Each structure stands twice: as C-alpha cells, then as structure tokens.
A and B are shown apart, each in its own frame.
Chain A
Amino acid sequence: MEPVPEDIRLLNGAYWLTRLRWIAIICVPIGTYFCGSVLGIALREIPMYTVATLLFLYNVAVLVMLDRAARADREVSPRAVKRIIHLQICTDLILLTVLLHFSGGIENPLVFFFIFHMVIAGILLSPKESYLQATFAVLLFGLLVLLEHKQLLRHYCLTGFVPHCLQESMLYIFGTFLVFTTALYVAVYMANYIATRLKRAERAYKQANVMLEEKDRIKDEYVSRVTHDIKGHLATIQGCLAVAVDRMTGKLEDPEADLIHRAHTRSVKLTNFVRALLRLTQMRLSNKLEMADFSMGEALLNVTGAVQAKAADKSITLNCNIDSSVENVFGNQFSIEEMVTNLLLNAIKYTPANGTIDVRASSDENSVLVKISDTGIGIPKEEQAQVFDEFFRASNAKRAERDGTGLGLSIVKYIVERHGGQIQVESEEGHGTTFNLTLPRTA
C-alpha cells in the first residue's frame, strides 16, 4: 500500500469529521427525547432540537465546501482543507458549549465529549494547532461556567439527574474544570504523539520503498549491461560456428564436424536465452514505449504468416479468424507482434503433430479480444498461476521440450501490461491451452 499524501489525508480526515457529525445529529434529538420524556430530566428541549437542526445545516454546508475544495482545478490545497477542519472543530466546540448551556452546564457529563475533538485535532492538525484548539475549548467551557456561576447567564439546572444545582459549589466547579482542562491537554498530547509516530513510520516505509525500487533498477541495469556484452561475443561465436557448419554439410560423420555442429546448436540456444533476458530487462528499464494507432488485424496476419511455416513443419493447422469489427489499436506494433509471436511459437512448440491452433480476434466497445487456443499438452492446474513468472516452466513442458528459457510468457505479460491490457490462461493438462488477451483500443 502506498502512503497517502498529506492533502488527501487531510481531505479524508475532513470528510471523516462530517460522517461522525451525522451520528451526533441523530443522537442529540434521540437523547433529548429519551432524557426528557422517558427519564423525566429537566431539559430545554426546544434549544436542543434547534442545535441539532443547526448541526445538520452546517454539516451540509461543510460538505459543499469540501466538494468545492476537492474539485477546484483538481489540485487539493492542503491549506484550504485545513481551514475547513479548523472551522469544523471550532463550530463543533461552540455548538457543544451551547448544548451544554441548555442542559445543565457543568452538571452535564456531556462535557467529556470535548475530548473527541481534541483527539481529532491531534490526529489531523499540527501539535501547535491542536493545542490552540484545546485552549479554545477550555476558554469556551470556562466562560460558560464562570458566567453561569456569576449568574450573568441563566443556569438551567439538570433536575432529575443531579440532586441539586452544582454550579453554586465553588469546589465542584473548580475541581471539574481542572480535570476537564488536564484531560483535554493530555488527550491532545497523546493523539499528537501517536499521529507523529505513525507519520514517521509511514515516511520510513516510503523511503524504504524508494530505495528498493532503486536497487531493483540498478540490478536491471547490471543484468542488461552484462547480457549485452555476452550477446555481442556470442553473436560472433555463433556466426563463426554457423559458417563452419554450413561449409561442412555432408561431412557430419567426421567427429570434428559433429562437435562443431553441437557447439553451434548450443550457441543458438544460449543466444536465445540471452536475447530474451536482455529484452525483458531493457523493457523494464525503458519507461517509454513509442505508441501509435495500428491495425490489429494486420498485425495478427503478419504474425500468423511469419510462423505458418513452423506450424506446417509439425503438420499443425494454424487458423486465423479476425472479426471485421477489429479495428485499430493504440500501441507499439512491434511489441504487440513480438508478444503474439511468442504465444504462437509456444503453442507450436507444445502442440503435438497434426494438432490445431486457432487465433480469434474480436472487438467490443473499448477493447480488442484475442484468443489463442491450441490442442497441445496443456498446463497443470496448480502451475497455471506461475506460468508468467520469470524462468518458470511447467513440469510437463520441461518433460516435452528440454529447451526453453522460461522467459517468453514473462515478456508477453510485460508487453500486455505496458499496453494497459490483460492476459489470462485457461488450460487443462493434456487438453490444450487457451490464452485470452484483452487490449484497450485507446491508451
């Protein structure tokens, strides 16, 4: 999982706050009704319902603001989102204070709910900002208690819940206020501490990931350089041997000729392996692939034409059926042809003589579908998930053909994915294999 960038994290946090607020909007009226009508506690019900309505309206307003901030030229400004979060927390604190005022002030255990906002501030905001929010909450609550105590503001006693009005008791007020203040600051401190540690861990994880990717790239470069050098020498060795073999045709009973022939065969195999390895690493290293519109039908005909002779050598019937709906595809034609060639050569290699290979292409609204099925040896069910892995060869494939690089299908999958397509395999051992290929028509 990729670490979430700061702007998205803030935006998600802001939306999270609005979702939590829906719970408050539902719970305030229900709680008011329950405490007032069922438990018979003296509550100012009208102001309570009014606060719930205000909460509802303001939550809708926040959602509208957030949607606008998220849409504005598609770039989310963390500062704008942070402003909305500050606004939400401040408004919540004020409304909560109003709610407390109409439901007994300091007598109401609802004061604990201030802590929720401190935790939220500690997670979403910087330490300084969250301590400021805590101070704001302390001031709001302190003011309410002070005004009610000095009787500058009317105190609505929570009769039915507390035995007698508590706001007159200096000790109670002082004690509760002290605990309240401490609880708020400690909550902010703890939330900050946890959030900072999480962020630090996330950053470390991100750095480790970047380092791993870089190491992988260095490895690819290394493999690419080494194989490229090997290939250069190998090309020359194979060339020399090929000429020698060519000149010795008809003299193969000579032991020297036989040895040279063997050396040539092996050099061809080694070249194929090195070439596949080089192809795969170079594809991984280059992040650009020239793309253009090309006719998929034509590409398929090119490829089937090119391998027709190989199929005929094994008396394999190669059918190519291209639906008229198949049109142009946006991609790299060379790579696509290479990919289909790989699939067809595999099919020919693992299909016994007199078999059949079908290539079918069709098209739907967004993609071109190519189905390549053969009547070959198939792939055991338990090995199908691995066939696209580098160097993997199915157990029955190894039995049938000693030689193979195990890289062909990795290259196929890589090319398909580079084009935003998908490839799936359907097969049953002994009953042929079908590769289903989906390529998007546009990038």
Chain B
Amino acid sequence: MEETKILIVDDDPDFTAVLKTVLEGESYVVDTAPGRAEAMEKIQADKPDLLLLDVMMATWSDGFEMARDIRKNPEYKGMPIIMLTGVEQRTGIGFKSTAGDPEWLPVDGFLDKPVEPQVLIAEVKKVLSGKP
C-alpha cells in the first residue's frame, strides 16, 4: 500500500508533536511546518495527501489565507484540508455550521483545539476517504 503523507502546519511545536505522535501511530507519514512559507515549500516538494492547518499562526487569519491560496492554485486544488480552530473563531466571520462552503472557506473539515486522539483519527480518515 502506498503511504499517505500528512503535513501539519502549526506554530506550536509541542502541539505539533502531539498530532504527529497520534498520526504516526496510525502509520501515516507525517511532516510538520511552523509557518506559511515553510508549509508552501513542503507542499511543493512533497505533495502531501492531507493538510492539517492551524487557523492562527503569525496573525489570526494566516490559516484562512493559506487555505484560500491553496484552493486558488490549480495544482493543489484537490488537496484535502482540515482546519484546526477554536469554536470562538468560527462565528462572526461568516462560517457555516458545516464545513466545505466553497464560497467562503474551502476546507474539508474542522477540528476544535484541543483535539482528542480518536476524534483526530476519525476526522482524518473521513476526509481522506472522501477524496475523489
């Protein structure tokens, strides 16, 4: 079976370590990037199968903007994205209760920080299986 590559983009190295441990336990190949620039480099080089993107890095909207950039680029259009976000960031900025509103934020899933391991694995599996 071909290995599934996941890229985690988050500026909190400890949190990234947690996600990495959980996902590696499920035999995924996990790479991490602490910021937008590094993430774009790794996306170009490795073409990951899934992106786990923190909503808030250098600025509160870094994650949002990055998700939109990726969707605009025809090369990565199909790459699934799961966004890590706090519930409080989801209102007031046009979020719909269900993920994947293409007009606003083209992501495939949301995870609320902190993430319980089972919830993370379930969401990753769900999004990967829904891949066209």
Cβ of A324: which chain B residues have Cβ within 8 Å of it? none
What's the nearest-Cβ distance from chain B to residue A217, in Å? 16
Q: Does the CB pair B96–A236 fall under 8 Å?
A: no
> CA separation between A299 and B17, bound complex, in Å?
36
Q: Does the CB pair A271–B114 fall under 8 Å?
A: yes
Interface size on A, residues (CB 8 A): 29
A282 contacts the other chain (CB 8 A): yes
A338 contacts the other chain (CB 8 A): yes
Q: Does the CB pair B92–A286 fall under 8 Å?
A: yes
Which residue in B15, B19, B96, B115 is a CB contact (below 8 Å) of A333?
A: B96
Considering only residues 82-103 of chain B, those with a C-beta below 8 Å from chain A are 86-88, 90-97
Q: Does the CB pair A243–B15 fall under 8 Å?
A: no
Cβ of A289: which chain B residues have Cβ within 8 Å of it? 91-92
B117 contacts the other chain (CB 8 A): yes
A335 contacts the other chain (CB 8 A): yes
B22 contacts the other chain (CB 8 A): yes
What's the nearest-Cβ distance from chain B to residue A134, in Å? 57
Q: Does the CB pair A275–B91 fall under 8 Å?
A: no
A240 contacts the other chain (CB 8 A): yes
Q: Given A234-B114, A238-B114, is A278 in contact with B18 using a C-beta cutoff of 8 Å?
A: no
Cβ of A333: which chain B residues have Cβ within 8 Å of it? 96-97
Which residue in A236, A299, A337 is a CB contact (below 8 Å) of B15?
A: A236
Which residue in A238, A243, A275, A302 is a CB contact (below 8 Å) of B87?
A: A275
A231 contacts the other chain (CB 8 A): yes
| Nearest neighbor of B90 in chain A, beta-carbon distance | A334
Q: Does the CB pair A236–B92 fall under 8 Å?
A: no
> CA separation between A441 and B91, bound complex, in Å?
20
Considering only residues 160-211 of chain A, those with a C-beta below 8 Å from chain B are none
What's the nearest-Cβ distance from chain B to residue A166, in Å? 78
Q: Does the CB pair A242–B92 fall under 8 Å?
A: no
> CA separation between A333 and B18, bound complex, in Å?
32
Q: Does the CB pair B22–A334 fall under 8 Å?
A: no
B21 contacts the other chain (CB 8 A): yes
What's the nearest-Cβ distance from chain B to residue A268, in Å? 8
B41 contacts the other chain (CB 8 A): no
Cβ of A243: which chain B residues have Cβ within 8 Å of it? 18, 21-22, 117
Q: Does the CB pair B86–A275 fall under 8 Å?
A: yes
Which residue in B87, B91, B117 is a CB contact (below 8 Å) of A332?
A: B91
- Can you list, as one digit per residue, whether each of B114-128 has a CB less than 8 Å from chain A (1) or not (0)? 111110000000000
Cβ of B114: which chain A residues have Cβ within 8 Å of it? 234-236, 238-239, 242, 271
- Can you list, as one digit per residue, whether each of A200-244 has a CB less than 8 Å from chain B (1) or not (0)? 000000000000000000000000000000011011101110110
A288 contacts the other chain (CB 8 A): yes
Q: Given A236-B15, A278-B86, is A242 in contact with B116 using a C-beta cutoff of 8 Å?
A: yes
A401 contacts the other chain (CB 8 A): no
What's the nearest-Cβ distance from chain A to residue B62, in Å? 15
Q: Given A236-B12, A279-B88, A290-B92, is A337 in contact with B97 using a C-beta cutoff of 8 Å?
A: yes
| Nearest neighbor of B94 in chain A, beta-carbon distance | A290
- Can you list, as one digit per residue, whether each of A391-403 has a CB less than 8 Å from chain B (1) or not (0)? 0000000000000
A246 contacts the other chain (CB 8 A): yes
Q: Does the CB pair A302–B15 fall under 8 Å?
A: no
- Can you list, as one digit per residue, whether each of B46-75 has a CB less than 8 Å from chain A (1) or not (0)? 000000000000000000000000000000
Cβ of B21: which chain A residues have Cβ within 8 Å of it? 243
B3 contacts the other chain (CB 8 A): no
| Nearest neighbor of A238 in chain B, beta-carbon distance | B114
What's the nearest-Cβ distance from chain B to residue A247, in Å? 8
B2 contacts the other chain (CB 8 A): no
Q: Does the CB pair B15–A235 fall under 8 Å?
A: yes
Q: Does the CB pair B93–A290 fall under 8 Å?
A: yes
What's the nearest-Cβ distance from chain A to residue B132, in Å? 25
> CA separation between A231 and B115, bound complex, in Å?
12
| Nearest neighbor of B92 in chain A, beta-carbon distance | A286
B113 contacts the other chain (CB 8 A): yes
> CA separation between A278 and B112, bound complex, in Å?
14
Q: Given A236-B15, A243-B18, is A282 in contact with B115 using a C-beta cutoff of 8 Å?
A: no
> CA separation between A333 and B98, bound complex, in Å?
10
Cβ of B94: which chain A residues have Cβ within 8 Å of it? 290
Cβ of A232: which chain B residues have Cβ within 8 Å of it? 12, 113
Q: Does the CB pair B15–A335 fall under 8 Å?
A: no
> A-contacting residues of B (Cβ < 8 Å)?
12, 14-15, 17-19, 21-22, 86-88, 90-97, 113-118
- Nearest first, the 3 A-B pairs at minimum CB distance are A239-B18, A235-B114, A238-B114
A231-B113, A239-B14, A289-B92 known, 5 other contacts, Cβ within 8 Å: A231-B86, A243-B22, A279-B87, A283-B88, A289-B91
List 30 A-B residue pairs with CB atoms under 8 Å apart, sorted by A's residue number: A231-B86, A231-B113, A234-B114, A235-B113, A235-B115, A236-B14, A236-B15, A236-B114, A239-B14, A239-B19, A240-B17, A242-B115, A242-B116, A243-B18, A243-B21, A246-B118, A275-B87, A275-B88, A279-B87, A279-B88, A289-B91, A290-B92, A290-B93, A290-B95, A299-B97, A332-B91, A334-B95, A334-B96, A334-B97, A338-B87
